[in-house]
Amino acid sequence: MAVPGVGLLTRLHLCAQRRTRVQRPILRLLSCPGTVAEDLRRDEQPSGSVETGFEDKIPRKRFSEMQNERREQAQRTVLIRCPEKISEKKFLKYLSQHGPINNHFFYESFGLYAVVEFCRKESVGSLQNGTRTPSMAMETAIPFRSRFLSLKLKNQTSEQSCIQSSDQLPPSNRKLFEITLLCRKYDQLNTLLKEFQLTEENTKLRYLTCSLIEDIAAAYFPDCVVRPFGSSVNTFGKLGCDLDMFLDLDETRNLSTHKTSGNFLTEFQVKNVPSERIATQKILSVIGECLDHFGPGCVGVQKILNARCPLVRFSHQASGFQCDLTTNNRIALTSSELLYIYGTLDSRVRALVFGIRCWARAHSLTSSIPGAWITNFSLTMMVIFFLQRRSPPILPTLDSLKTLADAEDKCIIEGNNCTFVRDLNRIKPSGNTETLELLLKEFFEYFGNFAFNKNSINIRQGREQNKPDSSPLYIQNPFETSLNISKNVSQSQLQKFVDLAQESAWVLQQKDTDRLSVSNNQPWGLAAILLPTVPNRRSFTKKKRKRSANESVRNLLESLKSNRTANFTETNEKRTVSTQT
């Protein structure tokens, strides 16, 4: 991926060109052919394209390939806190003393930061060698050599700021409403996806943050790997979502499996504890301490070691990410891989999931605090299940992905069979050509009428099954099949979901919501169902419900016209305690 041949001036020129056209992301044009950024760009669809699924015949990367490539890229990257006024040209020239730069971008998060990816890993070492530990007047710095640096100006007044920084936050609900209201008929869900999906820069920043945490954990476990999982990597991540990290110690454990000749084998002398859980708690406890005392930019470190899945939670101030670090959680990584496959197989999947997630968030069906509500993970499973139930199916069942697996794909984790095909190119495309609009409406109809009282959702077999217990919502964990991933959901939260699904199906069926008519104060399609609901609306007659919705719209449009701040808040998505089941 290193492209030493690309000159600094060319890159600056490209950067300047990009700035005049689009606000973000600078980095895409700075990336070179053959990089992940290039692949992402290739995968993007023009906004007007019809969504029929498997249009793209370009071979797609396996999850593990994508992860390895990104990780390697992150290891050549540094994070730099910059002075407010800085010349980008001089900045790049200064850093280029240590070797050619592959790409870079700036962003703001309580200060200006730069992410700089060198072409070669040695450049990072060279830069670190020329970096000093700060000396403080009142406090004492604990020396720590990392890839998170500060750049200081020797002459405070000499620089002119000419930096364009990329935005790492999601659009507000208000912006979301405007976008969906104003875009063309078939574009609502795809437009929403484009606005909310993780940008190339944001993804790079996520991998870089994992890499920085890995450096810290390596003080104890030199062969460890910190891998992102969950929505940061499963293709369903929204800007602002948390960063789930998995501390992988397999390399450390496997060192003893090297084959040697002779009748002896050597083992490390180790300390023993009574269970895997206690080992996990001890490991996370020391890593938590380490992050707290020595981790640059790691604040608010909480050790949540008695949870079903023990974790260390902290904020990485410089990136702005809320981080959850776990270990011994390989199944969650495998779930992310499975979702990555489903999200990549057919272009309608992500658009529909984003639409449903935004809908759920707008109606407070999901929340940033843990509780009896549906999680984004469960919602994604419901969408996958629904797409497996279409005729013909849009997504294959997990069992059919298992039958396509070869020897290399065989995977057993803690006695659970996690085998499924990893090579996306071996999965047959769906012949289903239903539009996203139709699928959205049908999703609400399907779950508005689902027999939740007796049936469970099961993506392994792709069909409803009798519920094994009395949980209001039962979504079978695809790998630990005796568990329910939505065990936390209460009857009243499920009922709220069902009511809203029925109402949204009804709204989407109305002919007059099928077109843009700002003058009549009529939102349509997705925009109509993203409106905040009136409590107990279900008891209203349909006519009343419609009038009430129209009133809300009228108020909202008036507010948009007069540019007043409406009753919307930023959707700075989340942090829920993983109710790992």
Smaller CB separation from ligand GTP, 198 or 556: 198
- Least distance from ligand GTP to the Cβ atom of residue 217, Å: 19
Smaller CB separation from Mg ion, 101 or 379: 379
Using CB under 5 A as the binding rule, whether residue 228 contacts Mg ion is answered as: no
Smaller CB separation from ligand GTP, 147 or 330: 330
- Least distance from ligand GTP to the Cβ atom of residue 373, Å: 11
- Least distance from Mg ion to the Cβ atom of residue 321, Å: 10
**Residue pointed to by tokens 């702005």:** 320
- Least distance from ligand GTP to the Cβ atom of residue 474, Å: 12
CA distance 477 to 481: 5
Which residue, among 208, 19, 38, has the nearest Cα to 113 in the 3D structure? Answer: 208
Q: Which of 170, 171, 230, 472 lies at the binding interface for Mg ion (CB under 5 A)?
A: 230
Phi, then psi, of 314 in degrees rounded to 5? -155, 165
**Is residue 145 a contact partner of residue 4, using CB atoms and an 8 Å limit?**
no
**Residue 309, number of CB atoms within 10 A of its CB:** 19
Choose the stretch contacting Mg ion; rule: CB under 5 A; options: 75-83, 237-245, 302-310, 498-506.
237-245
**Is residue 399 a contact partner of residue 461, using CB atoms and an 8 Å limit?**
yes
CA distance 206 to 232: 7
Smaller CB separation from ligand GTP, 420 or 506: 420
Q: Which residue is nearest to Mg ion (CB)?
A: 230
- 3-state DSSP assignment of residue 123: helix
- Least distance from Mg ion to the Cβ atom of residue 366, Å: 12
Using CB under 5 A as the binding rule, whether residue 231 contacts Mg ion is answered as: yes
# binding residues, Mg ion (CB under 5 A): 4
Smaller CB separation from ligand GTP, 283 or 485: 485
CA distance 539 to 536: 6
- Least distance from ligand GTP to the Cβ atom of residue 476, Å: 10
Cα-Cα-Cα-Cα dihedral of 524, 530, 532, 536, to 10°? 80
Using CB under 5 A as the binding rule, whether residue 477 contacts Mg ion is answered as: no
Partner whose binding site includes residue 377, from Mg ion, ligand GTP, none (CB under 5 to 8 Å by kind): ligand GTP
Which secondary-structure segment (H or E) carries 483?
none
Residues interacting with ligand GTP, by CB under 6 A? 229-231, 234, 241-242, 244, 332, 335-336, 375-377, 477, 485, 574, 576, 578-581
Which secondary-structure segment (H or E) carries 499?
helix 491-509
Smaller CB separation from ligand GTP, 86 or 401: 401
DSSP of 102-116: EEEEEEESSSEEEEE
Partner whose binding site includes residue 522, from Mg ion, ligand GTP, none (CB under 5 to 8 Å by kind): none
Q: Which of 117, 195, 201, 242 lies at the binding interface for Mg ion (CB under 5 A)?
A: 242
- Least distance from ligand GTP to the Cβ atom of residue 300, Å: 17
Smaller CB separation from Mg ion, 25 or 230: 230
Partner whose binding site includes residue 335, from ligand GTP, Mg ion, none (CB under 5 to 8 Å by kind): ligand GTP
Smaller CB separation from ligand GTP, 229 or 474: 229
Which residue, among 36, 37, 33, has the nearest Cα to 65 in the 3D structure? Answer: 36
- Least distance from ligand GTP to the Cβ atom of residue 477, Å: 5
Choose the stretch contacting Mg ion; rule: CB under 5 A; options: 28-36, 222-230, 277-285, 350-358.
222-230
- The Cβ-side half-sphere exposure at 102, using a 13 Å CA radius, reads 28
- Least distance from ligand GTP to the Cβ atom of residue 274, Å: 24
Q: List the beta bridge partners of residue 80.
A: 114, 149
- Least distance from ligand GTP to the Cβ atom of residue 489, Å: 10
DSSP of 535-564: TTGGGS-HHHHHHHHHHHHHHHHHHHHTT-
Using CB under 5 A as the binding rule, whether residue 244 contacts Mg ion is answered as: yes
Which residue, among 98, 142, 136, has the nearest Cα to 119 in the 3D structure? Answer: 98
Smaller CB separation from Mg ion, 287 or 332: 332
- The CA distances from residue 359 to 189, 192, 379, 393, in Å, are 11, 11, 11, 24
Smaller CB separation from Mg ion, 101 or 383: 383
Partner whose binding site includes residue 578, from ligand GTP, Mg ion, none (CB under 5 to 8 Å by kind): ligand GTP
Q: Which residue is nearest to ligand GTP (CB)?
A: 230
Smaller CB separation from Mg ion, 434 or 573: 573
CA angle 386, 389, 390 (to 5 degrees): 95
- Least distance from Mg ion to the Cβ atom of residue 27, Å: 23
Residues 6+ apart with CB under 8 A from 200: 25, 27, 28, 31, 36, 37, 40
Helix/strand/coil percentages in the chain, nearest 5:
45, 15, 45
Q: Which residues bind Mg ion (CB under 5 A)?
A: 230-231, 242, 244
